[in-house]
Amino acid sequence: MTRRLKLLSIVATVFALIVWSGADGDAQITSEASRLFEALELKPGMTVGEIGAGRGEMTLELSSRLGPNGRVYSNEIDPARLADIRNAVAQKQVTNVTVVEGGESSTNFPAGCCDAIFMRDVYHHLTRPREINENIFAALKPGGRFIVIDFEPRPNMTRPDGVPTNREGHGIRPDIVVQEAKATGFREAQPSAEWITSGRTNARMFFVLFRK
């Protein structure tokens, strides 16, 4: 990639982040949270885990919807993003969010803690998917639901460092997600279907729903 193209790519990324942080991003989070609530069969008072929570926008939205008797375990592996989530929780004075530092092979969620767990735009980055799936399975209550929201491989984009070689580039096919999740004990509750267009990635997404 030439220096000019790299510069244009950086500018486009910064612009996308600005847009996402504004009103359009807020509307996107609200819309996606509503769909998550429906797909995961969430109700006030339940406990949900978010893997790869970024800056915590969805974590805060769900914490509000779950109410004071509910809880969100908000997971991140990036120290800067963990700080962002903790700052956001402190500024909003939220008391029902537990921020959890994740690892390469573990969410570090407590066993049996969650009614549901989800990840958005994260699965294709996992370098140890089997271990993570096993950990998610252990963290869910019996009958708990697990949803993966991601995108299929994009042309001309490099596979992230360290991920399994079957990823076929940047992204992942839904059938691979299904195969890997089932190998750790999950059963498919709903076949792959289209998700919303993500304002963060400007890409058409898919989701697959599993149940413990």
> For 106-117, how does the pLDDT look when each residue is reduced to its tens digit (9 = 90+)?
999 999 999 999
What one-letter code names the amino acid at 22? G
What one-letter code names the amino acid at 5? L
Q: In this structure, is residue 2 part of a structural domain?
A: no
Give the rounded distance of the alpha carbon of 60 from its chain centre: 14
Q: Could you tell me the pTM of the whole model?
A: 0.84
Q: In this structure, is residue 189 part of a structural domain?
A: yes
Q: In this structure, is residue 29 part of a structural domain?
A: yes
DSSP assignments along 102-135, one per residue: --SS---PPTT-EEEEEEES-GGG-SSHHHHHHH
Asked if 198 and 121 count as a contact pair (C-beta separation under 8 A), the reply is yes
Burial 82-113 (b: 16+ CB within 10 A, else e): bebbeebbeeeebebbbbbebeeebbebeeeb
| pLDDT for 193 beyond 50 | yes
Which tokens in the block code for residue 98?
């537990």
What one-letter code names the amino acid at 165? T
CATH number at residue 167: 3.40.50.150
> For 131-152, how does the pLDDT look when each residue is reduced to its tens digit (9 = 90+)?
999 999 999 999 999 999 999 9
Q: In this structure, is residue 3 part of a structural domain?
A: no
The predicted structure's pLDDT at residue 22: 45
The predicted structure's pLDDT at residue 194: 86
What is the rounded distance in angstroms from the CA atom of residue 144 to the CA atom of residue 75?
18
Q: In this structure, is residue 55 part of a structural domain?
A: yes
The predicted structure's pLDDT at residue 192: 85
The predicted structure's pLDDT at residue 14: 38
Which tokens in the block code for residue 179?
């195969």
| pLDDT for 203 beyond 70 | no
What one-letter code names the amino acid at 190? Q
DSSP assignments along 37-68, one per residue: HHHTT--TT-EEEEES-TTSHHHHHHHHHH-T
Which tokens in the block code for residue 175?
């059938």
Mean pLDDT across the stretch 25-30? Answer: 79
| pLDDT for 7 beyond 80 | no
The predicted structure's pLDDT at residue 202: 53
> For 50-83, how does the pLDDT look when each residue is reduced to its tens digit (9 = 90+)?
999 999 999 999 999 999 999 999 999 999 999 9
- Going from the C-alpha of 140 to that of each of 62, 99, 102, the distances in angstroms are 17, 17, 16
Domains contained in the chain, number = 1
Q: In this structure, is residue 150 part of a structural domain?
A: yes
Domain that holds residue 158: 10-211
| pLDDT for 45 beyond 60 | yes
Give the rounded distance of the alpha carbon of 56 from its chain centre: 11
Q: In this structure, is residue 4 part of a structural domain?
A: no
Q: In this structure, is residue 181 part of a structural domain?
A: yes
